Amino acid sequence: SQQGEEDPQALSIQEGENATMNCSYKTSINNLQWYRQNSGRGLVHLILIRSNEREKHSGRLRVTLDTSKKSSSLLITASRAADTASYFCATDAVMDTGRRALTFGSGTRLQVQP
Amino acid sequence: SQTIHQWPATLVQPVGSPLSLECTVEGTSNPNLYWYRQAAGRGLQLLFYSVGIGQISSEVPQNLSASRPQDRQFILSSKKLLLSDSGFYLCAWSVGVSEGTDTQYFGPGTRLTVL
């Protein structure tokens, strides 16, 4: 079963607006990561936030983590058409083999209209 | 710098035919290696991961197998493809000092269509 789930599934905004995507997860984590995927391409790592961190910034990206609510948000400020992509959160979870590995949500498809 | 390669980029195969997808990593040693499958419009499903040569863990019972004949080479195989094997296959690597929960770096993917 998936550990993390993004919300909303799809988001359409105008260039210059901010985009906020949310991720909820079920069990305790060591870290939470956000990735970006352009259509038909591989995933690109954006940012990692550890369980003892509450907020992290990277350029126009801002990630928050609330471990009490088991949720995270990704904010993209001043969006650009080039930000159009799918965004995934990934959390570490214990797999059937007993090892920890990353599990990915279904993603939020962001469309930024020029 | 590290790079990861996957090939082929696209593949169309008939049901019942064999499969071999290859992934290689450059610029790092003893990486953790991963195979994922992504259905259209969905998230990633972890299929296999490896922490070293000849060490493969399977997360989902299925028609596929994986092998790691060299430190930086990861191969996904099938003896007989099923229609349900269609999808976008992604290889990834991470620094091999943890259980694979740190940053992962993905290849460009292989689009497999089984007809």
The distance in angstroms from the start CA to the end CA of chain B is: 38
The CATH number that applies at residue A73 is 2.60.40.10
Its domain, for residue A97, covers 4-113
**What local confidence, expressed as pLDDT, does residue A41 receive?**
93
**What local confidence, expressed as pLDDT, does residue B95 receive?**
86
Chain A interface, mutation test: which of B103, B105, B110, most A Cβ atoms within 10 Å? B103
Least confident of A12-16, A63-67, A89-93: A89-93
- Per residue in B64-84, is it b (16+ CB within 10 Å) or e — as a string? bebbbeebbebbbebeebeee
Q: CB-CB: which of B59, B88, B109 is closest to A95? A: B59
At B32-85, the pLDDT tens digits run 999 999 988 788 999 998 989 999 988 876 889 999 999 999 999 999 999 999
* Contact residues on chain B for A40, CB-CB shorter than 8 A: 88, 109, 111
What number of C-beta contacts closer than 8 Å exist between A and B? 67
Domain count, chain B: 1
**What local confidence, expressed as pLDDT, does residue B1 receive?**
85
Domain count, chain A: 1
Q: Give the per-residue SS3 of chain A.
A: CCCEEEECCEEEEECCCCEEEEEEECCCCCEEEEEEECCCCCEEEEEEEECCCCEEEECCEEEEEECCCCEEEEEECCCCHHHCEEEEEEEEEECCCCCEEEEECCCEEEEEEC
At A78-102, the pLDDT tens digits run 999 999 999 999 998 776 767 777 8
The CATH number that applies at residue B15 is 2.60.40.10
* Contact residues on chain A for B41, CB-CB shorter than 8 A: 106, 109
Cβ–Cβ below 8 Å for A40 and B111: yes
pLDDT band at B99, cuts 50/70/90?
Answer: low
Q: CB-CB: which of A41, A96, A99 is closest to B108? A: A41
| Amino acid occupying residue B31 | P
**What distance in Å separates residue A36's CA from the closest CA in chain B?**
11
Higher-pLDDT residue of B99, B3: B3
Its domain, for residue B21, covers 3-98+107-111
Cβ–Cβ below 8 Å for B101 and A102: yes
